[in-house]
Amino acid sequence: MRKWLRNWIGGAEELPQAHMLFVDGENSPPPPDLMMDAVLSHAGCELDLALAWSKWYPTSVLLGRLREAGIECIQADQGSNNADIMLSLRAQREVNERANRGQGGIAYVAFGADKGFSHVLREIKTTKGWKSVYVTSNENPPSILVNSASEVLYIPKSGKPRPTPKKAAAPPIRQPQQIAESSQLSDKEVDGFEDLITKLIRDGADNGPKLGQMIIAYQQENEWPDTGKEAFNEKFGFPPNQPYRVSIQQHLSSRVKVSGKAPAYKFELKGAESTELKGAAFPLVYGFNNSSGLSLPREPSDTALVITQLPSAISSGLVRLIEIIVYIKEATGLPSSRIKKVISDSLRDYFSMNPDERLTSPTHPNQTQLFGCLKKTIMEKTRTNKPEDITIIKEYFSRVEEILTAQSLASEQRLSTPDD
């Protein structure tokens, strides 16, 4: 009655659609990075909620990757199928609460092939104004799941496009609309985007994390009011959460080659552009950033990249040096020989390193503290007395600090900006 009255007097406004992702971490969910790319592209907007359930343990690789993808991980109660039950109850509750307010939307449920989810998929699909999307990497999903969902969003584990399973519902209409919108940019927007991206790649932004860092540094240098991916996408007319990689593949595929896998996608200029003069490489100092032996990466940007990843590696519960190295290597795409010294020297003041290289008595230092420890340790160890080498080393650390400062300011801006 109240809802009818509000509509009759014209006081009610139609609520925007809600988009929520629910992941069963115990049932072979799709690769988190590919899953988030596909879901965000399908939704065409930010997610209102992204949750995953499992009986997590601190060193779980899946736990780390889900967190990196921006998904909140909830500890499931002990007992069989509790993750499934908790997911189903929460998903149904969130949908019902919104439906009762007159809000519609899409609930994405990600898992392998557990037929027990057919109930929640069907219940959401039959809720007025709602769709349920079964998100999976299973090439032959059970027909009961396909028929229970409004549609199926298939995520190939390799990241290479494959046909949607035959039994799946017709592709959603939102995705082609999204592609059409992002392709209808003005010539000025396209030219500006192409010029900036090719310049950054030419200057060394040859993988995903580096490109993100260098975009933030560019935004800081040019006094953008906001920094980060959303500000970048707004500037050039892309959807707010569209990954840089997708924008490059849509508008620069003839000039930039994209390879590798998340989070360290590789970017390389094609054809004649690949032979153009790149930004000058940072000078080498023997025993400091030369390519032989155990030394720092040649480029300051690579050292900064490692330091930015260290806090998340520590907070995820990793305790062995080799585990941290593997984590950082996967996150950055840098070789182990280049990152080991950065990691061990950055952590020297914050951990007691025993003979088996297990870190004990951990604290949780931030980027500034890690950088300070690295710089102090290196300067104490350096053996060069050449003034020119000392100048290069100081300049190296100065550049690392500039990158870290730009990133910290960007993070503070994101935290201080209220959600719409």
Predicted local confidence at residue 162, as pLDDT: 46
**104 and 234 in a common domain:** no
Residue-level pLDDT at 299? 85
Q: Is 241 within a domain?
A: yes
Whole-number mean pLDDT of the chain?
78
In a domain, 90, yes or no: yes
Residue 50 included in any domain: yes
The tens digit of pLDDT for each residue in 243-255 reads: 888 889 888 887 8
Q: Are residues 191 and 142 part of one domain?
A: no
Residue 22 to residues 45, 102, 122, 309, 397, Cα–Cα distance (Å): 16, 21, 15, 26, 43
Both 257 and 154 in one domain: the answer is: no
The yes-or-no verdict on residue 51 having pLDDT over 90 is yes
309, 328 in Cβ contact below 8 A? Answer: yes
| 43 and 58, same domain (yes or no) | yes
| Surface-to-core class of residue 226, CB atoms within 10 Å of its CB (0-12 exposed, 13-18 middle, 19+ buried) | middle
Same domain, 87 and 67: yes
2-6, 53-57, 389-393: which is most confident:
389-393
Give residue 169's domain range: 15-180
| 172 and 212 housed in the same domain | no
Which residue, 150, 180, 210, sits at the end of a domain? 180
According to the model, what pLDDT value does residue 396 have?
92
How many structural domains compose the chain?
3
147-158: per-residue pLDDT in tens? 999 999 998 876
Give the pLDDT band of residue 188 (cuts 50, 70, 90).
Answer: low
Under 8 Å CB-to-CB from 151, ≥6 apart: which residues? 131, 133, 134, 168, 169, 170, 171, 172
Q: What DSSP element (H or E) covers 343?
A: helix 336-346
pTM of the model: 0.40
- Structural domain includes residue 142: yes
pLDDT tier at 160, thresholds 50, 70, 90: very low
The pLDDT tens digits for 246-303 are 889 888 887 888 887 765 678 888 764 454 444 457 888 877 887 554 578 888 888 9
- The pLDDT of residue 52 is 93
Mean pLDDT is lowest, of 31-40, 120-129, 251-260, 273-282, for: 273-282
Give the domain CATH number at 34: 3.40.50.1010
* DSSP-derived 3-state class of residue 44: coil
pLDDT above 70: residue 2: no
Q: Which of 174, 218, 184 is nearest to 407 (CA)?
A: 218
Going across the sheet that includes 18-24, the strands are 72-75, 49-54, 18-24, 105-110, 130-136, 151-154
- Give pLDDT, residue 278: 46
Please identify, among 275, 308, 343, the residue that sits at the C-terminal boundary of a domain: 275
The pLDDT of residue 178 is above 80 = no
Specify if 2 maps to a domain: no
Residues 78, 138, single domain; the answer is yes
CA 171/CA 162 separation, integer angstroms = 13
pLDDT at 132: 97
Residues 156 and 72 in one domain: yes
- Do 389 and 253 lie in one domain? The reply is no
Domain contains 339: yes
On whether both 95 and 235 belong to a single domain, the answer is no
Same domain, 400 and 267: no
Confidence of residue 168 (pLDDT cuts 50, 70, 90): very low
288 within some domain: no
Q: Which of 268, 222, 228, 275 is nearest to 248 (CA)?
A: 268
Residue 31 lies in a domain: yes
308 and 271 in a common domain: no
pLDDT at 166 over 70: no
**In angstroms, rounded to a whole number, what is the distance separating the alpha carbons of residues 310 and 363?**
12
Give the pLDDT score at 174: 39
pLDDT value of residue 245: 87
Asked if 83 and 55 count as a contact pair (C-beta separation under 8 A), the reply is: yes
Last residue of a domain, one of 180, 196, 212: 180
∠ CA 337-339-340, nearest 5°, is 70
Read off the pLDDT of each residue in 85-90 and give the average, rounded to a whole number. 90
Mean pLDDT, residues 162-185 taken together: 41
